[in-house]
């Protein structure tokens, strides 16, 4: 058993595609049109193009419990997911220059350093560096 696709709920697939590729640096892998104007839209890390795919899932638009869950995580400041990075401070500085908003600046927490950003599509995303 292995992880091949992980989904993240987004309010707008096109806006999410722009943010995740142009700001976070992911690469589009699949873009398959589906019914209702939705897409099977996946991204991969530029450093692991054969690795797990990140599905930009339009669930909050079509499934009320998903929308409520996403909204409540946002209100509570809880990250929906996390991405590992080699250097949180360097990534934070790069993303701030691109206009990305952070609710948590780089902070050491034991053996980790974390920062939390707003993906502009309804999610807090935590960046994590192992120290």
For 110-127, the DSSP string reads TTEEEEEEE-SSS-EEEE
pLDDT, one tens digit per residue, over 36-83 is 899 999 999 999 999 999 999 999 888 999 999 999 999 999 999 999
Q: Hey, what CATH class is 5-130 in? A: alpha beta
Calpha distance 97→106 (Å, rounded): 15
Total-model pTM: 0.95
Q: Where are the domains of the chain?
A: 5-130
pLDDT, one tens digit per residue, over 105-130 is 999 999 999 999 999 999 999 999 99
Calpha distance 28→19 (Å, rounded): 12
Token representation of residue 28 = 């589009």
pLDDT, one tens digit per residue, over 99-111 is 999 999 999 999 9
pLDDT value at residue 23: 98
Measured from the Cβ of residue 51, the count of other Cβ atoms closer than 10 Å reads: 11
């Amino acid at each position: 058993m292995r992880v091949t696709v992980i989904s993240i709920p987004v309010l707008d697939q096109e806006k999410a595609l722009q943010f995740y590729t142009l700001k976070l640096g992911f690469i589009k892998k699949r873009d398959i049109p589906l019914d209702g104007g939705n897409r099977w839209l996946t991204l991969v890390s530029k450093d692991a193009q054969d690795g797990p795919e990140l599905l930009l899932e339009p669930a909050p638009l079509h499934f009320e419990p998903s929308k409520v869950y996403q909204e409540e995580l946002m209100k509570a400041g809880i990250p929906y997911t996390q991405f590992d990075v080699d250097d949180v401070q360097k990534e934070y500085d790069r993303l701030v220059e691109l206009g990305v908003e952070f609710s948590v600046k780089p902070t050491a927490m034991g053996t980790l350093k974390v920062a939390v950003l707003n993906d502009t599509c309804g999610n807090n995303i935590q960046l994590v560096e192992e120290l």
